[in-house]
Each structure stands twice: as C-alpha cells, then as structure tokens.
Amino acid sequence: MTASAAASASKPMRRLGLLSVGALGVVYGDIGTSPIYALRECLAHGVAPTHDNVLGILSLIFWTLTVLVSIEYQMFVLRADNRGEGGILALLALLRPERHRGGVWLGPLLQKLAVLGAALMLCDGVLTPAISVLSAVEGLEVAAPQLEPLVLPITVGILLALFRIQRGGTGRIGVWFGPITAVWFLVMAVLGTAAIFRYPGVLAALNPAYGAAFLYHEGWAAVRILGSVFLVVTGAEALYADLGHFGRKPIQYAWFALVFPALLLCYFGQGALILSSPVEIKQPFFELAPQWALYPLIALATAATVIASQAVISAAFSLTRQAIQMGVIPRMQVVQTSAIRGGQIYIPALNTLLMLVTLVVVLWAGSSAALANAYGVAISTTMIITTSMLFLAMRWRWRMHLLLALLATGLFLAADVSFFAANMLRVPAGGWMVLAAAALLYAMMSTWNWGRTNLIGMLRTETVSLPTLFSRLARERVARVPGTAVFMTAPKLGAPPALQHHLRHSHALHERVVLLTVEIKDTPRLPPDEQLQVEPLEQGFYRLFVRYGFAESPDLPRAMALAAGHGLAVDPADTTYFIGRETLIVPPDMPWFNRMRERLYVFMFRNALRATDFYRIPPRQAVEIGLWVEAALKAPERDTRPGNR
C-alpha cells in the first residue's frame, strides 16, 4: 500500500475516532455519571452488604447494562433511525402507521404513546441536572464532613450557571466536553481496576447465577432494589435521542471501546471496596479514591455532571423543536446558536422553565438519595414505549419474521416491565412528582394537538373554493394594486378566511397573490429540490408549498427568495404577509370536558409565539387580520400523520 493510499484509508478512522470522542460528552454524559450514586442506592434498602448480596447486585448491574444497552439500544434501537435522527418522535414519524394494516386505529394510539414518551423525556431534563450535580457536590461530605451545609448552595450556584450559559450556545465550550468526559471514564476505570486487584473475587459476579440467587432469596426486597439497579441505564433513552448528532457508528464505537468497560470496572471496583473494607462504606464511588485525590475527583465529577446535564438539556431543546414542528406543542422562540451545526439551538422559554423546576426539585429533595426515588419512573416508562414501537419497526421497516421480532422485543420488554414495576414502588416516595409532571405535560400537548386540529377543521367550514373565488373576482372586477400578498393557509384549504376578510373590507387585492402552505414532513431534513413547489393558478394567484423536516426551523422570507428559481419571482421588499389572528370563543353549551380542554387550548394559543416571529417574517411586512371563531362542539377527525396540521 502506498503512503497516499494509507493516508486516505486512515482518514475515515480518524474521523470516526474524533466523532467517538465527541459522543462521549454529548451522548454518554448521563449514563456515565450513574456510578456516583447507583450502587450506593442499591445498598440503601436495608440489604446487608454481604458477599452474596454484593455479588448478586453487581451481577444484576452487569446483565442490565449488557441486555438493555449493549444489545437492545446499541444493536437494535439505534438502527431505527429516521434518516439519521433518533428519539421517540422521530421513531413515530419513521413508522408511518397510516400506511400499514390497522393504521387507522393504531396511528392515534402510537401518537398518544409517543407524546407521553416525549413528556417523560422532558421530565428527565429536570431530574438529570438535579441528581447528577447534587450527587457530585455531595462528595464534599466525604472529603470534609463540616462542609455538608454548603452542598445545597453550591449545587444551586452550579445549576444557575449551567442554565445561564445556554443562551450563548455551547459551541465554544463544547469542544472540551468529549476530552473531559474521556478523562472521566479513564479515571473511573483506573480507580475501579485498582480496587479489583485488591479483591479479584468480585469478578465472580459476571456469573448470572448470583443475580438470580439474589432475586430468589431476597424476594420483595430484591424487587425494590431493582428500581435502584435501573439507575445504571437511565441515560439509554437520551443516547437514542442524541443519535442525530454523531451517527450510529461513533456512538457504538465509544460505548464498546471505552464507556462500557469503564462503567463495569467502576461498578465492580466499588463492590470490591465494599467487600474488602472492614468499616461501613457510605459513598463507595468517592471512597475509591485515595485521600490526596479526593478533591480533584470531586472537581472532575462535578465537571462530568455539568456536561451530562448539558447533554440532556440540549436533547430537551431538540425534542421540543421536533414537537413544535409536528404540531404537538405551541410555538416557541427557537434561537439558532451555531451557523454551522443545525442541531445547536436554544429555546429561552423552555430553558427558564427547566431552570425553575430543577431548582425547586433540588431544594425540595435536599439530597440525591431522595431524588433517586423519582429518577427511574420517567425513563422506565419511556423505554417500554420505545421497545413496543421497536417491534413495529422490526415488522414494518425491516420486514423481520414475526417470531424473531416477538422473541427479541419480548426479552427486552420483560426486562423493561420488571424495572417499570420496581420503579412504581417508588411512586409514594417521590415518583408521584414525575408522574404528575408528565401527566400535566401530556394533557397540554394532547390538548394543543386536539385544539389545533379542531381549529383547522372550523376554518375549513368558513373557506370558499378557489374556482368560486376566481369567478367572483372576474365578475366583480376587483381592483388590483402593485406588489405581492402572501396569505398563509392550511394544507388542502381553498381561499383562507384571512383573504376573504381582507377582500371584503378593502375591495382590492395585490396584483400577485401567493397562497402559502407550510408542511412539516415525517423526515428530519429535506433536500433542497423537495423544499419548494410552485403551482401557478389564474388571475395572478400562485400556490406555494414550503416543506420542512421536523428538525428544521421555518424561514418564510428565505423561502420566498428561493421561490424565484421555481418560477415565482417576487420582490422581497414589496411583499406583504397577511396572517390570520384567530380569537376563539368557547360556547357555554359545550360539554364540560371539551369546554375545559378548549379553554386550556385558548390559553396556550394566546401565549404561543406569534406566527410572524416563528416564521421569521419582518414585522413591518406583516398584517394580522382578526378572525372570531366559535369552537365546535366536536372536533373533526384527525389526520395523525406528522406535519399535517
């Protein structure tokens, strides 16, 4: 092989290595900080740290990481990508249930499950920063017990700084995330290995018989401990949600080359320390380190937990933008923090909400041990939903045989359900908080989708067909003025009410009228040749379809400029956008449940980001036309396909 050929062959490997290092900080920050508290919580349920009990718990940890992360998520779930994008909403768009047998009833059910999973993932965006940073700072209690009163103030300060930096984007400091996290995993591996050398008998826990014997002998207590064992995989769902940042191969490479071995060495090292120590071990992770290395380890752990929190917050931003584009939640301001990477965004309203709720949770709980009771509830539920949808992906997308699909997902679902049942026992001790928050988010998201579909259905009843409009214009000889008027309209809608209202009061139209429809497709991004479609009509009318993927942000002035290449040349400075501003009226004779939902929708509708801001329309070129719409007694049938809203 020549030198040039060798250099060319090394470039893909070098790129894979760099992406894998980057994935360490973004993808594995959450699961990588679990060793700080997971094993500690497993031993906090009154189970004596005997030889068999410790080996049994370590065996459960090893096989949980192996089955759920190494096999299910790495080998199967990561393959269920939507053109490179992951996450539960991307998986919903990938399945396209309306194209399959039973999609008429299965489509709405899958949408409800995906919305619930998204709500639970947003709850994780609160719990991960809270428990991660708090558990790291609690290491001060080991180094200097007199500093215990400072744990909460320091945690609050770090969290405030973390949410504060979001507005500037993480492009500059993000380059350090991967290397710092790599050092974190290497330090965990070294500390764990040193402890294992002192007590190598702990490696017997690789035998699944220890885990089975522990479950058999401990009975009901073992079920409760399963909820703590689940803490070792709480970052698995975020791993799938961050798929679009790096791709499948770098994520898998980082897991099997560094993350998985480092986690196992750290967990087994903690077990070896517990079995070899003559005194009680309260913080097994921090007590792995020698006294001289304790403060540096606390600093490194704090940095790792901040990075883990940053990754979850970024995933919450991405998930929220997908939900906005798919019509699941109200419009919010989305700020692009990087001109190069489309995935780097900032949502001010969501960031403020996450910050306030996270601080309340930290101050309410007071310790990471109290937060652990709530942590696994959200993710265990989401993993059941993901596994169920994975079965449909195997059947519909991969054409896998029914028996093989049932065997694979049956194994994963059995583990998921076991952990879900164990975490349900934590509901009275704090898990109720997560369920209540998820129920509130789900109610708001489903109500927004329901109300938006209802509103579009009501607007359809007030539209006239385009042939009827053209006949009227020809008959009445309406005056035409220079310039271009853009009227936004829903898919398959005739003359929108805003156009009729404008024509009724001004008795004139611009010489060029564009009926613009924004469509969000069930793919993350669209190639340029599929984004625009222009249909010339008559009497100076055009229908313009502007299509975006669910991971893209709309920009209508840019779309109008690009329309020139499709036969619609307009002067951007001489274009006026007419936006319908609906005022919803809730009739008193509406059934109480629908009336309650409609009022909630009206509240969200009034507080949603204005269309001019969301679509980046210059304020001086926008005209809002007020429309009074009375809510219908019954919402029309919904089109469950993402983007048709």
pLDDT tens for each residue of 360-389? 888 888 888 778 777 778 888 889 999 999
Q: Which of the four pLDDT bands, split at 50, 70 and 90, describes residue 6?
A: very low
Residue pLDDT, tens place only, 503-560: 888 888 899 999 999 988 877 788 888 889 898 988 889 999 999 888 788 889 999 8
Give the residue, 279 or 563, on which the prediction is more confident.
563
User: Where are the chain's structural domains?
Assistant: 18-450, 460-630
Rounded to whole angstroms, how far apart are CA atoms 441 and 432? Answer: 14
Instruction: Classify residue 368 as exposed, middle or buried by CB count within 10 Å of its CB (0-12, 13-18, 19+).
Output: buried
Q: Lowest-pLDDT range, 264-268, 277-281, 589-593?
A: 589-593
Residue-level pLDDT at 11 = 66
| Most confident among 77-81, 100-104, 145-149 (mean pLDDT) | 77-81
- Encoded tokens for 313: 């917050």
Q: Lowest-pLDDT range, 235-244, 260-269, 289-298, 299-308?
A: 235-244
Amino acid at 447: T
Q: Above 80 in pLDDT, residue 64?
A: yes
Q: Above 70 in pLDDT, residue 30?
A: yes
Residue pLDDT, tens place only, 132-151: 888 888 888 887 788 888 88
Q: Above 90 in pLDDT, residue 54?
A: yes
Residue-level pLDDT at 645 = 36
Q: Above 90 in pLDDT, residue 468?
A: no
Q: Above 70 in pLDDT, residue 173?
A: no
Q: What is the mean pLDDT of the chain?
A: 83
**Where do the DSSP E strands lie in 207-349?**
335-336, 345-346
HSE-CB at 156 with a 13 A cutoff on CA atoms is: 15
Q: Give pTM, 2 decimals.
A: 0.81
DSSP letters, 196-237, are HHH-GGGGGGGSHHHHHHHHHHHTHHHHHHHHHHGGGGTTHH
Whether the Cβ atoms of residue 290 and residue 415 lie closer than 8 Å to each other: no
Q: Which of the four pLDDT bands, split at 50, 70 and 90, describes residue 197?
A: very high
**Pick from 267, 289, 307: which is nearest to 37 by CA?**
267
Instruction: Classify residue 442 as exposed, middle or buried by CB count within 10 Å of its CB (0-12, 13-18, 19+).
Output: middle
Q: Lowest-pLDDT range, 285-294, 400-409, 634-643?
A: 634-643
Per the listing, tokens 């942000």 go with 553
Q: Which of the four pLDDT bands, split at 50, 70 and 90, describes residue 5?
A: very low
Instruction: Classify residue 102 as exposed, middle or buried by CB count within 10 Å of its CB (0-12, 13-18, 19+).
Output: exposed
Percent over 70 (pLDDT), the chain:
92
Q: Which of the four pLDDT bands, split at 50, 70 and 90, describes residue 186?
A: very high
- Encoded tokens for 173: 């400091």
Q: Above 70 in pLDDT, residue 167?
A: yes
Q: Above 90 in pLDDT, residue 157?
A: yes
Residue-level pLDDT at 569 = 82
Rounded mean pLDDT, 411-416: 92
Q: What are phi and psi of 30, to 5 degrees?
A: -70, -55
Residue-level pLDDT at 343 = 59
Rounded mean pLDDT, 250-273: 94
Rounded to whole angstroms, how far apart are CA atoms 327 and 449? Answer: 6
Whether the Cβ atoms of residue 371 and residue 430 lie closer than 8 Å to each other: yes
Rounded mean pLDDT, 154-168: 87
Residue-level pLDDT at 640 = 40
Residue-level pLDDT at 282 = 84
The sheet carrying 575-585 orders its strands as 532-536, 541-549, 508-521, 479-488, 575-585, 622-630
Q: Which CA distances in Å does 586 have to 200, 442, 458, 499, 590?
A: 70, 22, 13, 24, 8
**Which residues, other chains included, contact 173 with Cβ-Cβ below 8 Å and sequence gap of 6+?**
165
Residue pLDDT, tens place only, 423-463: 888 888 777 888 888 888 888 888 888 888 777 777 777 77
Residue-level pLDDT at 341 = 56
Q: Which of the four pLDDT bands, split at 50, 70 and 90, describes residue 9?
A: very low
Tell me the CATH architecture of domain 18-450: Up-down Bundle (1.20)
Q: Which CA distances in Å does 110 have to 89, 115, 330, 454, 616?
A: 10, 8, 20, 20, 32
Beta strand 335-336 with 345-346: parallel, antiparallel or unpaired? antiparallel
Q: Which of the four pLDDT bands, split at 50, 70 and 90, describes residue 339?
A: low
Q: Which of the four pLDDT bands, split at 50, 70 and 90, describes residue 323?
A: confident
Q: Above 80 in pLDDT, residue 603?
A: yes
Residue-level pLDDT at 238 = 77
Residue-level pLDDT at 229 = 92
Q: Is 131 helix (H, G, I), strand (E, B) or coil?
A: helix
